[in-house]
Structure 1
């Protein structure tokens, strides 16, 4: 992994080269940037004098508008996000058709990219949110400004968010098999000093304290050609989940015995705690823009720190006794469970917003992003260089007791205080460089060509610790390993990507254009995965010697390939645009490192997994009618070959990736805006997805999916309707009203029947009422007005004890007051 010093040296070298190039650049008017700023300002105008303003985008690496871009794209301005109360990726699904994000809250925004577009997901959504990164690349790529990485950043001081559906290999990388989400922050403004401060306080149903946040922005020109911008903020989300039956722990984290004199049969001591999912974050983002006429350089850095005491999940309603924590519930335990009073001391039924977890599950995450974007106007084209890097580190705790007791309890000899703590540490860092040349729009031929380089290292270590088990075995008189450590998973990935890409557009007529694109790449992947089972010892080792029960798998893979794109569009009279797109995408393969010898030996078929590819076909129609109504519609058909899926192996429940034979997704995306009056805008989105397996997924006799099974995590229907009403009361006082409702239909959570839960659909209703006077704005907001218990994921009792049937939830009814002051 590159050291911080090495990273800074690389970035400083590129910065020095850019500054040397600037020495001979004469000052020139900033017309292009002024035009861009004006277009962005127009796009955020909510009234538009009775006419809708188009949203300016740069998705195709040149300035355009969403309606003039012939792809399936949604773009939402920062002002529209603020009007709708969108602060994170989960909220974003309310305003983007077909976008699914099955996580919620600060905790679920890290290691796992939870975006789903066009139903391209085979993985279970009943897991642990952002706690554990998967071996597979995400199907949706995420760019923070120009840095390709995923982090659920707090959405403040945002210029806009662009969501590009379908494979975007040409301009955004081969791994973008389902689409790309771009988060673009406001840049420094060289024309004025400005500041913005907003603060809010709110209360969530079932929470014992308030939520609060503050965000601040300061913009300052530092002369004619230099500008500085700083955004910073802090957010605290008060938890709403209660834990009625926690274990009371000693200084070593082991359960305290209810009867210390009987360490063999004693139950743990119970305690309780409210608001076990408290969470907070803070961030700081300085930006420096140097505008020397033809040469522009933007430096950006962002740090975000997050802490969560536990996930937003409950175990409601639980289930009947006897549970897996009893001899009857775990008949394979040998000897039998040593105290069958566990279910009386730790009941199996729960109220809404109560969890059956036994311990707190804290998690810390730190993310650093840095980039330098330099562009030079050559006259006939713009040359851009983007040097960026990121570094992420997270450590978290997960209570896996319910899974272990249900699946592996027999291995722990009737331990009456079974407590399995999974400790996970994840590190991820990358350096990227992209150089591209984008032509000006004059002439029949336009192009965008470039080269891309990425060097990425990530490392995951998971240790499963059965707290207090060694002391129990000592008291039982059984020989043991001398440690509470039960399982270790250690995975290292080094990935390099070198690519050349290009798109060439021929404007056949002013109305007709065709585009061809290609990305040629060479990728090198080195992956090593280690599984250790100390409790099993040398018997589980690959070499039958290692006392830690070590099994290791490694793979070096070099991939060379070209991915293609074709697009044709036609502009009709009256402002309509029709288009057709064919595009391809691919994700890399890898190794799993599962044991192939010992009592938990897995078939060699689980050792490695292969790349998967998609072919995407879409047609669309978008346009404006009378300047007051605009719409965008698209229909798509995606063929997914060799699809990758993360599974648990049949013998030892080890994490692994396997390939299916095929899957297919078909659907439509619709969105529209209507300026009903100069004061009222109504917007709506709808997405329909029908995604299914076209062949069963069977590996070494284990069935992970059947032909025709719906792909998990994606509702068939998503729908949202919103309205914004801005009414002037006096010359300097304005009434602001906003309301929206979003709906998602039922969905499955896993392809594997023993893991799947069929979740019901639900709708969330939100509203805001406020007044604006000069630089001040005050708003009362109400989120989830009907207090809907919206379940985003769940776990199946066939695989988990009832105390671990954790269901991730939308936040309950929340009411709050937000105050904003803007100085210009």
Structure 2
């Protein structure tokens, strides 16, 4: 949500909003002293994480569920804010740019990748799997018209087709309602600090009955948000996209302009769901969703100075070129459920196609790359990396879930996925050919053009798995569950690399390699309900992430060490014990975990020629505690608290495949992006104002302690990131079908940095003609004030 409000107006609106929450709080507390109302009982959220409809309190492991109505009442608009409200879930907040390129969610600290990743697609699978209903896909879709979001901690491979290490997040959309014509329209206006304009969004939902046994639900969303980041030293370009040379091509002078609010965001999403229930025992759900994002630049600040000695200010980026990104995602799925009497047979078939591209400033990288400095040392250097990715898959899952029995229950399923992933990078030294031909006209044929790097990776994965669980009800209060998963994966990787700048110097190289792997994973769980409202549970579960090939050439100009050719699957053993229950209006969940991680995968680049690659380490481990409380004070006040302690570190030295002497990272290094302490809280108040109007107010927030930006020994990447807290507030009034809301995000305007490109990695170099500065901090959304009005019918 992006727009403009002067700072004083921000503070005034924030104070007004906070006062609106405090006033009813003091009044209610005074009333409570006199009346002492009984505590309200929590409304249970029904989830399907166990493949059956089950209350959250009856699931014998650590799960958090957030209802769609709660997301809407709190005016939560993006994943970063949502996931911060869930104990123990971390997220690297990159804003809208490249938001679908890389899944940067971390659960229980299971991650070794640096927090600055995200400009390009990586080969390894994320440590946390994400689902849209029954489709395993990472799409970072807009949070619109959801039934609920389920966050499952720990490996889930014995219940779900897609494997995972740290956990699974399921985004469950609302299904059509039979026999009902209904809908909702909503509109928001918003203003963000540092922006010069107002942002707006429009949303709509329409539910239409199609006879007695079918219904259609259509959801649409559009958002247009002006930027908040000023690119203050961007080259002026000529008609060919080359920096203007005001004093001639050979003179070092350049012409610069400032582009205000460059990181504009234009998003739209459409979803159509058809439900058909031809009989009491059969239902079919067909859904298609499409989302498109068009983003003008980074929501990332540059620190320190440019090459002229001018300090960068708040909301300013030092890139000498704009850095837009686009993406489109389409997903179609068909889910069929058949009640067989003794069990339910479910088939889920889906196809998705996800593509995106972006332009990144790379001049700052060359400026700090030592020996590469000569490579681009020409007047007005402009290194531009144009990257793209494509991810397409067909997924089929089928499972049989027994009815609840007196002695045994079971879930058994099969999973198939055929996936193709493509990633490209074309890098340009814009203006280099023009300068070379002017300086050395007799050697103009030696330089082929401005393209200096050409890379393409195409990976084909085929995955087959069988999974299942059996639960033995030993007594009315004691359950024992065992599960297993067998998988068989095949991978083929083809890569192409060329350095085409100088004619005849390098020969383009193709490389191809195939790998396969199979294994069996196990799970055991015991739960004891020691009274009607509480249970103790313990779990030992194995998880894995598939391996593959980097497909590097072993001979010729671009030869790499054979150790880079293949990376293996990494795996975890998760040990967990916990208790959950409810008493006197309070719901609680406390768990402790210990995870052994073998062969952790690190996304990096090869030593010689910089192929994008994955390498394995030796061992890591995480341990910690997660706790949550949820309850009411009387009938009007609702609160929830969450806390997580995570101690995540390498438990052995980490070596590159071609160097077993000097470690990349050392035993005991803290894993990046994993705060040791995380805290989240929310307090809301709801009550009627009079016979016609209802009132709602909420204050919520999150805190995370210091993190590391990387795991390696090099200070170029492994720097500390300060802890921070974010506060939000919402107040709403409702009359009949209309609701109006005033909300503030990031009340105290915290930077909330979750990743950096350090100056040692991407900086400035005036001695070589580069006067910009490419370092940057990945910041949270600055203080934002908005108004939302919605009408249901």
Compute the TM-score of the two structures, normalised by the length of structure 1: 0.87
Matched, 1:612 2:578: no
Conservation of the 8 A alpha-carbon contact between 1:602 and 1:649 = yes
Bigger relative contact order (CA 8 A; separation at least 6): 2
Cα root mean square deviation, aligned: 1.8
CA distance in 1, matches of 2:179, 2:40: 28
Report what 1:452 is aligned to: 415
How far is the alpha carbon of 1:537 from its aligned partner?
6.3
The separation in 2 between residues aligned to 1:612 and 1:819, in whole angstroms, is 48
Deviations 1:658-689 (A, max 9, x none): 11110001111111111111011011111111
Q: 1:299 aligns with which of 272, 275, 286?
A: 286
- Conserved 8 A contact 2:386-2:425: yes
Asked if the contact 2:376/2:429 (under 8 Å) is kept, the reply is no
Structure 2 partner of 1:761:
723
Residues 224-275 of structure 1, C-alpha deviation per residue, up to 9 Å, x if partnerless? 1111111101012221100110011122221111212xx2233321111101
1:51 to 38, 41, 46: 41
Q: Which of 672, 680, 688 lines up with 1:712 in the alignment? A: 672
Q: CA-to-partner distance for each residue in 1:695-750, whole Å, 9 max, x for gaps? A: 11112235321110000011111111101111111122111101102111110011
Is 1:472 equivalent to 2:435 in the alignment? yes
Paired residue secondary structure (1:510): coil
Report whether the alignment pairs 1:509 with 2:475.
Answer: yes
In the alignment, the residues of structure 2 paired with residue 236 and residue 656 of structure 1 have an alpha-carbon distance, to the nearest angstrom, of: 36
Residue 174 of structure 1 contacts residue 587 of structure 1 at CA under 8 Å; is this kept in 2? no
Q: Distance in 2 between matches of 1:57 and 1:83?
A: 20
- Residue deviations 1:479-515 (CA, integer Å, cap 9, x gap): 6331211111210011111111111000000110011
Residue in structure 2 matched with residue 84 of structure 1 by the alignment: 74
State the partner residue of 1:421.
384
Alignment counterpart, residue 529 of structure 2, candidates 549, 561, 571: 571
Q: What is aligned with 1:747?
A: 707
1:63 aligns with 2:50: no
In the alignment, the residues of structure 2 paired with residue 56 and residue 602 of structure 1 have an alpha-carbon distance, to the nearest angstrom, of 53
Q: Partners in 2 of 1:555 and 1:583 — Cα distance?
A: 32
The match for 1:729 among 659, 682, 689 is 689
SS in 2 for 1:645: strand
1:520 and 2:503 aligned: no
1:380 is the counterpart of 2:338: no
Equivalence for 1:338: none
Change in Cα spacing, 1:760 to 1:318, as seen in structure 2 (3 Å) is: farther
1:592 and 1:656 in contact (8 A); partners too: yes
Distance 1:49 1:422 in 2: 59
Size of the aligned set, in residue pairs, is 739
Match of 2:210 among 222, 237, 248: 222
Q: Which residue of 2 aligns with 1:19?
A: none
SS in structure 1 at match of 2:622: strand
Number of the residue aligned with 2:235:
247
Cα separation, 2, equivalents of 1:794 and 1:140? 22
Q: Which residue of 1 aligns with 2:260?
A: 274
Mapped to 1, the partners of 2:125 and 2:448 lie a distance apart of 38
- Counterpart in the other structure of 1:819: 789
**Residue of 598, 609, 617 corresponding to 1:641:** 598
Q: Which residue of 1 aligns with 2:448?
A: 482
Distance 2:310 2:458 in 1: 39
CA distance in 1, matches of 2:75, 2:719: 31
- Report matched runs for 1:273-422 at 5 Å: 273-292=259-278, 293-318=280-305, 343-344=307-308, 347=309, 349-407=311-369, 409-412=372-375, 414-422=377-385
Rate the CA distance shift 1:305–1:568 in 2: closer, same or farther, 3 A.
same
Q: Which segment is superposed worse, 528-537 or 238-247?
A: 528-537
Contact 1:139 1:175 survives alignment (8 Å)? no
Alignment of 1:634-713 (within 5 A): 634-699=591-656, 700-701=658-659, 703-713=663-673
Structure 2 residue corresponding to 1:95, chosen from 71, 85, 95? 85
Aligned position for 2:513? 555
SS at match of 2:368: helix
- Tell me the CA shift for residue 172 of structure 1: 2.1
CA distance in 2, matches of 1:142, 1:393: 18
Distance 1:224 1:162 in 2: 31
Q: State the Cα deviation string for residues 565-599 of structure 1 (Å, max 9, x = none).
A: 11111101151111111111122222224455678
- The question of 1:805 aligning with 2:775 is answered yes
Deviates more, 1:69-78 or 1:787-796: 787-796
Stretches of structure 1 lacking an aligned partner (at least 5 in a row): 1-46, 320-342, 541-545
CA-to-aligned-CA distance 1:152-183 (integer Å, 9 cap, x gap): 11101010000111111112245311111000
